[in-house]
Amino acid sequence: MRKILITGGAGFIGSNFVLYMRKRYPSDRIIVFDKLTYAGNLENLKSLSSGPEYLFIKGDIKDFEILDRIFGKEEIDAIVNFAAESHVDRSILGPKAFIETNVLGTFALLEVARKHWGASKDKRFLHVSTDEVYGSLGDTGYFTEATPYSPNSPYAASKASSDHLVRAYFHTYGLPVVTTNCSNNYGPYQFPEKLMPLMIINALKGKNLPVYGDGQNVRDWLYVEDHCRAIDMVLDKGRGGETYNIGGKNEKKNIDLVNEVCSIIDERLSADKGLSARYPFKGSRKGLIHFVKDRPGHDRRYAIDCAKIEKELGWRPEHSFEAGIRKTIDWYLENPGWWERIISGEYRDYYETQYKERLVEKRSE
């Protein structure tokens, strides 16, 4: 039985990974550590209950003392670090939180792991990062693990800094680390400010679909379940000190993605009278698309070369973009309560109540 600390485990990718691991390795003990900021949602993990195999702890990864206590009590075998401020637009408006969480928080995690593990090869620190650290590509080429870092937003710069810290702790202290850099994720439980869920929800509600600039920016899209499988493989078999790029091999221009979302939603609602009555709209939702002023430092194109993880670990994405986007849209159609509570702000009340109840239960044990 492994004892795995998953930081940021109530967020989008983190919660998907927690649910994946609980299903695949039911005997492992999973300790989820999350600050529950605006994008952390305890409702994502409501199917799990505290016990020998799962524990949720609310906390900040900058807090060395609480992390130190967790390591001492739980005898942690592995860390998967998802905890991060991750929205580029927010980093432009307020970069301080990104430096504090992404840089100082990663530093605190590394220091705690170094204190408890040293250079033990039986442990594993997996740092989850982004392809945005590499900057912007032209019309051709791909990011590889050897691509020089060239971040263009405060978010990307903060993640690049954390990546460098992780690398330095391997080379300086022998800490058993590995880093993954992924392309744009999509799927269930993604916070509605991100492009995919924003377009889905606005299209359903008949609201404007804002597209930055000319809509020609290109991203490589990775279905979150495929990403979870890749992280699992790297956690188990990745070579210490190495970096693995994870991509979906699904390059899409932003405007093409939005058009596809509109087409699928129009199709789904026209075939289901109940859904069409719930989300009434006349005409094609493509008419809702409008272009807005581009954001500062908007990278033109990202694309991942994931040959290394394919050759070394045998991982490949299983979802085509067509299959993944349909599964994603269906999930949002089937779970309106989840995103409606977020839009209304009610989800904050949910996890405040749930967390307080769990604290009461813990004190009474």
DSSP-derived secondary structure letter, 51:
B
Are 127 and 107 spatial neighbours (Cβ–Cβ below 8 Å)?
Answer: no
d(CA 93, CA 119) in angstroms, rounded, equals 39
DSSP-derived secondary structure letter, 160:
H
pLDDT per residue as tens digits for the range 247-288: 999 999 999 999 999 999 999 999 999 999 999 999 999 999
d(CA 139, CA 257) in angstroms, rounded, equals 18
* Strands of the chain, DSSP E: 3-7, 29-34, 54-58, 78-81, 124-130, 177-182, 184-186, 209-212, 218-223, 243-246, 251-253, 289-292
Model-level pTM? 0.93
- Binned at pLDDT 50, 70 and 90, residue 210 comes out as very high
* Structure token pair of residue 9: 């485990």
* Structure token pair of residue 212: 């930055």
d(CA 355, CA 42) in angstroms, rounded, equals 8
- Binned at pLDDT 50, 70 and 90, residue 354 comes out as very low
34, 43, 142, 155: the catalytic one is 155
DSSP-derived secondary structure letter, 148:
P
Rounded mean pLDDT of 92-105? 95
Residue 129 β-bridge partners? 181
34, 85, 131, 232: the catalytic one is 131
- For this structure, is 155 an active site residue? yes
pLDDT per residue as tens digits for the range 283-338: 999 999 999 999 888 999 999 999 999 999 999 999 999 999 999 999 999 999 99
pLDDT per residue as tens digits for the range 124-173: 999 999 999 999 999 999 999 999 999 999 999 999 999 999 999 999 99
Sign of CA dihedral 45, 50, 53, 59: positive
10 Å Cβ neighbour count for 193? 13
d(CA 141, CA 222) in angstroms, rounded, equals 18
Query: For residue 333, which of 283, 281, 264 has the smallest C-alpha distance?
Result: 264
Q: Are strands 78-81 and 124-130 parallel, antiparallel or unpaired?
A: parallel
φ, ψ for residue 71 (rounded to 5)?
-60, -45
- For this structure, is 131 an active site residue? yes
pLDDT for residue 348: 55
Sign of CA dihedral 16, 18, 41, 275: positive
d(CA 46, CA 162) in angstroms, rounded, equals 30
Helix/strand/coil for 217:
coil
Rounded mean pLDDT of 56-85? 97
Q: Which residue has the tokens 């250079």?
A: 119
Residue 145 CA: distances (Å) to CA of 182, 308, 309: 11, 8, 10
Residue 245 CA: distances (Å) to CA of 188, 248, 273, 292: 22, 10, 43, 31
DSSP-derived secondary structure letter, 101:
I
Question: What fold characterizes domain 3-186+223-249+297-321+347-364?
Answer: Rossmann fold (3.40.50)
Are 99 and 120 spatial neighbours (Cβ–Cβ below 8 Å)?
Answer: no
43, 132, 299, 305: the catalytic one is 132
